[in-house]
C-alpha cells in the first residue's frame, strides 16, 4: 500500500472507512488487530461514549499506521472464520463492541460484534 493510498483511506470519514473495511475484508478473509508484547489485544475505552471496543482494520499497514510507529503494539491477523467462530462470541460475552477502522482523526464506526459479522457475511456474498 503506497503512502498516497494510505492517506486517501485515512482521509475518508467513518462511514466510508466502514464500507471500505467490509469490502476489503470480504475479499481478503482476514481482520487485523493490534497486540502488545504479551500478545494481549488493544482494547479502547471511551469515557464520553461509555463504551469499550476492539479496534480492527482491513490491512496490517493500516493497523501499523494507527499504532504510530510505537514498538509496543504490532499488527496481528485473524482469519475471518476464527473471528466469526471465536472472537464474535467472546467479544459479545465480554460486552465489548468493535471499532471498525479507526483513523488518525479518532472517528470510527462502532458496532456490535454480531452486527459486524452479519455485515461481513452480506459483503462476502458479493464475491
Distance CA 75, CA 112 (A): 22
Query: What's the total number of domains in the chain?
Result: 1
- CA-closest candidate to residue 105, choices 66, 73, 71: 66
Q: Would you say the pTM of this structure is higher than 0.85?
A: yes
Q: What is the CATH number of the domain that holds 36?
A: 3.40.1350.90
**Digit-coded pLDDT (tens) for 71-127:** 789 999 999 999 999 999 999 999 999 999 987 667 788 999 999 999 999 999 977
Cβ contacts of residue 99 below 8 Å, gap of 6+? 44, 53, 54, 55, 56, 108, 109, 110
User: Cβ(75)–Cβ(89) under 8 Å?
Assistant: no
| Higher local confidence (pLDDT), 102 or 29 | 29
User: From CA 10, how far away is CA 61, in angstroms rounded?
Assistant: 12
Residue 16 lies in domain? 3-124
The distance from CA 55 to its chain's CA centroid, rounded to whole angstroms, is 5
What cell numbers appear for 4 in the block? Answer: 498516497
In this predicted structure, what is the pLDDT of residue 107? Answer: 75
Cell of 104: 488518525
Amino acid at each position: 500500500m503506497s503512502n498516497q493510498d494510505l492517506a486517501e483511506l485515512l482521509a475518508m470519514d467513518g462511514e466510508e472507512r466502514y464500507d471500505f473495511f467490509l469490502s476489503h475484508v470480504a475479499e481478503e478473509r482476514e481482520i487485523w488487530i493490534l497486540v502488545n508484547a504479551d500478545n494481549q489485544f488493544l482494547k479502547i475505552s471511551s469515557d464520553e461514549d461509555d463504551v469499550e471496543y476492539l479496534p480492527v482494520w482491513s490491512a496490517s499497514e493500516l493497523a501499523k499506521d494507527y499504532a504510530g510507529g510505537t514498538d509496543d503494539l504490532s499488527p496481528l491477523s485473524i482469519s475471518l472464520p476464527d473471528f466469526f467462530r471465536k472472537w464474535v462470541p467472546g467479544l459479545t460475552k465480554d460486552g465489548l463492541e468493535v471499532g471498525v477502522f479507526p483513523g488518525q482523526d479518532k472517528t470510527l464506526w462502532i458496532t456490535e460484534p454480531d452486527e459486524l459479522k452479519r455485515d461481513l457475511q452480506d459483503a462476502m456474498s458479493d464475491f
